[in-house]
Amino acid sequence: MSSKPKDYRPKIISFHQTLDGLNIAAKQDILWPCHAFSISIPKKKQSRLNIFEETVLKITEIESGYTEKIAWLTCLEKELVVFIQNRLNQLDLLNERYELSEHGQELLNEWQNKSDGNLEYTVATVFVDLLSGKLLPYVSTDQLSYKKISRIGDNGFINFLINPTNEKSISARQIRPAKDSFWKTVPDSNDIIRAIREFKKKYKRHALLNQAIDQYPPPVPMAEAISLRENPELVYLHCNALIQTGNSDLLVTDGCGFGFSESFANYLTSQDWKWVIDLKKKGIIDKLSPNPSNEEAEDESSAADGLKKYPRIARPLRHAQEYLSDAKKINIDSSNDEQEFVRLTGLAVVALYEAIEWALRFVVSDNPVTHWEHLFSSQSYRENDKILRSFATKIGFDVSDSVKALLQVKPGKIRAVDRGVSEMQPLLALAIAGAINDPNHPLNHLAIEDSGCLSFINILKEVRDPVSHGSSTDVELSLKTLEGYRDRATRLIQVLIPDILDITEDAYTAKPKQERDINQIRLKARIELDYLLGLEFVETVSPSLREELIRVMVISQSTTLNNEQLQLCINLLASIMQLSLFEVVKERRFSIKNQTNLKEEAIEKIVQSGFYPTLDAIPEQISTVNTTRLSRAVQGSNITLGANLLAVFLLGSENELIELQKKDSTFVKFVADLIQLRGHGNKQQSDFSRDDMESLKNNVFKSIQIIMEVF
């Protein structure tokens, strides 16, 4: 019987990705090459016993089967102790007389010795990015599941199914690793521990601000305890490269479902691939109108501009208004009408409560208090209540007996925040703790604006809790009261999140978006730059140089240019050249011993490099540069274009200057002409045409590319 043929198709892994709150203009699915390493991590073995069973078992070693004495020592009812003893007997840990059995003694010895028998090993997977050689800050403890490939195209695209039961496929561009990729990189134990710790940080923030996150990070083990299988598997992580409307910044998801990867985006930018520039170009739109096929766009259309960044808050606010509007339409003529009114008003309160809860999630995420989190999770709810009452009073909140239940936070609820299970009580606790020593904390502002907000939140909670659990509320809510709740909740959210500048009634009501002109001149200019100079070049130059380049492109997009605009363009091009030379100079400054000979030395180097045959042939725009300005230029100051040029010849190596001459023998003359053309920056060029400007722009762009290549 012949063996099964080996499958050489790419192995694709796709984790769930959350892209809420993004106004996506263009998106490209991509497959990122990684090496998947299998590792083994030790963790404490999960006990079969709960805390009460463990306690009774340990006391039995001393008190044997004396039920009454165990009940007295543990402050438990005798009947409960008997129940626990019966359970331990069923597990063969106690005998019929409730004395320790052989297995029970072995288990106690195991706990006491803390031997390896108390540990179990978890198999996990870590990923090394083959294009950067870096270990990704993610550890998967689930068995890897590969997606079914439906088609492999000739143009680098692969179609695969996200769901095997759904024939709808995704077409993704495969990013292929090269021969010089990091094929031999193997992470060590310390690399893996750092990855686990980084993953824990990412997980906590991501889980706090998202729902349905089930990829829990493993515990951090000792380095010596990690074992790694050194034969990795080539896999491809499913990522999204995307552009937001009106923004040229490339975003790339991390392939693991926990946000975006700056490293991935930088790599794509560095490759100068045309498809990346084309993707960015799709972000340009002349009119912004709703996309009926985009569910997120429909959701966001219901919120005011200030809420667009926070769809998790916008949705419950909109739902609250919808319930309120529906309740207003009811004329209560029967018990059925009354029940429907109570149901709608209760759901409106639930939605308002949820919006406040989400606002607190953002506050806690932006203002972490790890030390308080550890303290609250290690002490009783009574101790937490005492501390929180004291803190809330100091901050300026009214803390009456009505909010007592709100501040009695159980330690388990604090620990649940780590897993992304966040409720109002632990969120309030962590927010209050964060505000006690931070005068700029949002809760300090909230205490000034609404000192009684804790009582208000508690009122919402008293309605929300029974409604959320399927019961009806005993609280009678009028429409006027509910409108007051809505208005107070929105003011509260505005204070917690200052980015939300204004929430009007229009923010709650779903209405069609009006088309509006958003002529994205800067975005068009930036993308045109990417085409002319290359993605990597534009991305790596200094921000000040990039800004000048964009300004030139913005001007050149104008259909007509007057003399003043032409002169401005000349000034900008001269500034671009000056900044490009400054980029070379600022990293090579040196101390000056003899300032009087600086200019002569620089001019001699121009001749020695082959730009001019004699000193007399050098243009006066260069030969007459002020010596003091040149002195400051070689020390790292951006003074003038002429001074920066001479500084480059003083600081550049002989090989660099010769290479510059080979690539552009007219470089020095061109800079001199540019200085003359600019003058003092305020003389308008009456005989300078648009074609002249385009030619000058292209020559400047060519020159700065040569500068970056040579130096």
DSSP 375-413: HHTTS-HHHHHHHHHHHHHHHT----GGGHHHH---HHH
Q: Highest-confidence range of 17-26, 493-502, 628-637, by mean pLDDT?
A: 628-637
Q: What is the mean pLDDT of residues 538-566?
A: 87
What pLDDT does 648 receive? 92
Answer whether residue 527 shows pLDDT above 90: no
What pLDDT does 514 receive? 45
Locate the DSSP E strands across 469-571.
Answer: 516-517
Q: Which of 107-111, 374-378, 677-681 has the weakest average pLDDT?
A: 677-681
What pLDDT does 129 receive? 95
What pLDDT does 211 receive? 60
Looking at every residue in the chain, the average pLDDT score rounds to 83
What pLDDT does 159 receive? 92
What pLDDT does 136 receive? 94
- Please report, for the chain, the start and end positions of each structural domain, with discontinuous segments joined by +: 12-39+124-218+234-281, 44-119, 295-507, 541-710
Cα gap 494→427, rounded to integer Å:
17
285 vs 613, residue with greater confidence? 613
At 161-172, the pLDDT tens digits run 988 777 788 999
Answer whether residue 646 shows pLDDT above 50: yes
Q: What is the mean pLDDT of residues 41-61?
A: 80
Q: What is the DSSP letter of 66?
A: -
Answer whether residue 521 shows pLDDT above 50: yes
Q: Highest-confidence range of 194-203, 327-336, 516-525, by mean pLDDT?
A: 194-203
CB–CB of 675/641 below 8 Å? yes
Q: CB under 8 Å to 3, separation ≥6 — which residues?
A: none
Cα gap 258→450, rounded to integer Å:
35
Q: What is the mean pLDDT of residues 6-27?
A: 80
- Percentage of the chain modeled with pLDDT above 70: 85
Answer whether residue 360 shows pLDDT above 80: yes
| Tally of CA atoms within 13 A in the half-sphere of 415 that contains its CB | 8
Q: What is the DSSP letter of 253?
A: B
Answer whether residue 12 shows pLDDT above 60: yes
pLDDT confidence tier of residue 523, bands split at 50, 70 and 90: confident
pTM of the model: 0.65
Answer whether residue 342 shows pLDDT above 50: yes
List Cβ<8 Å contacts ≥24 apart for 458-464. Answer: 458/402, 458/403, 458/405, 458/406, 459/485, 460/349, 460/352, 460/353, 460/356, 460/485, 460/489, 461/353, 461/406, 461/424, 463/346, 463/349, 463/350, 464/349, 464/350, 464/353
What pLDDT does 311 receive? 80
212 vs 123, residue with greater confidence? 123
Neighbours of 236 (CB within 10 A): 26
**What size, in residues, is the chain?**
711
What pLDDT does 610 receive? 92
User: Per residue in 334-344, is it b (16+ CB within 10 Å) or e — as a string?
Assistant: eeeeeeebbbb
DSSP H or E stretch at residue 174:
strand 169-174
What pLDDT does 304 receive? 43
Answer whether residue 501 shows pLDDT above 60: no
What pLDDT does 23 receive? 76
DSSP H or E stretch at residue 252:
strand 251-252
What pLDDT does 288 receive? 47
What pLDDT does 116 receive? 53
Single out the residue of 397, 485, 398 nearest to residue 441, CA to CA. 397
Answer whether residue 115 shows pLDDT above 70: no
What pLDDT does 5 receive? 63
At 208-218, the pLDDT tens digits run 766 655 555 66
pLDDT confidence tier of residue 702, bands split at 50, 70 and 90: very high
Q: What is the mean pLDDT of residues 507-526?
A: 59
Neighbours of 44 (CB within 10 A): 10
What pLDDT does 518 receive? 46
Cα gap 218→35, rounded to integer Å:
20
Locate the DSSP E strands across 130-162.
Answer: 135-140, 148-152, 157-161
Q: What is the mean pLDDT of residues 324-340?
A: 81
Q: What is the mean pLDDT of residues 292-299?
A: 41
Q: Give the torsion through C-alpha atoms of 406, 407, 410, 413, to 10 deg.
A: 70
Q: What is the DSSP letter of 514?
A: P
Q: What is the mean pLDDT of residues 519-529?
A: 81
Cα gap 34→146, rounded to integer Å:
14
What pLDDT does 176 receive? 92
What pLDDT does 321 receive? 92
Answer whether residue 621 shows pLDDT above 80: yes
CB–CB of 674/574 below 8 Å? yes
What pLDDT does 556 receive? 85
246 vs 178, residue with greater confidence? 178
What pLDDT does 517 receive? 42
List Cβ<8 Å contacts ≥24 apart for 97-104. Answer: 97/65, 98/60, 98/64, 98/65, 98/67, 99/60, 99/64, 99/65, 100/57, 100/60, 100/61, 100/64, 104/57, 104/60
Cα gap 332→327, rounded to integer Å:
10
- Percentage of the chain modeled with pLDDT above 90: 30
Q: What is the mean pLDDT of residues 588-609?
A: 80
What pLDDT does 215 receive? 58
DSSP 334-357: SHHHHHHHHHHHHHHHHHHHHHHH
| Tally of CA atoms within 13 A in the half-sphere of 685 that contains its CB | 21
| Tally of CA atoms within 13 A in the half-sphere of 440 that contains its CB | 3
pLDDT confidence tier of residue 108, bands split at 50, 70 and 90: confident
Answer whether residue 173 shows pLDDT above 70: yes
What pLDDT does 477 receive? 81
Single out the residue of 642, 604, 601 nearest to residue 624, CA to CA. 642
User: Per residue in 660-673, is it b (16+ CB within 10 Å) or e — as a string?
Assistant: bbeebeebbbbbbe
What pLDDT does 290 receive? 46
Q: Which of 38-47, 192-201, 260-269, 631-640 has the weakest average pLDDT?
A: 38-47
Answer whether residue 707 shows pLDDT above 50: yes
Cα gap 706→702, rounded to integer Å:
6
Cα gap 505→484, rounded to integer Å:
13
What pLDDT does 53 receive? 86
**Which residue type occupies 376?**
F
CA separation, residue 634 to residues 477, 577, 672 (Å): 76, 17, 19
Tokens of 82: 């008997």
Answer whether residue 337 shows pLDDT above 90: no
pLDDT confidence tier of residue 289, bands split at 50, 70 and 90: very low
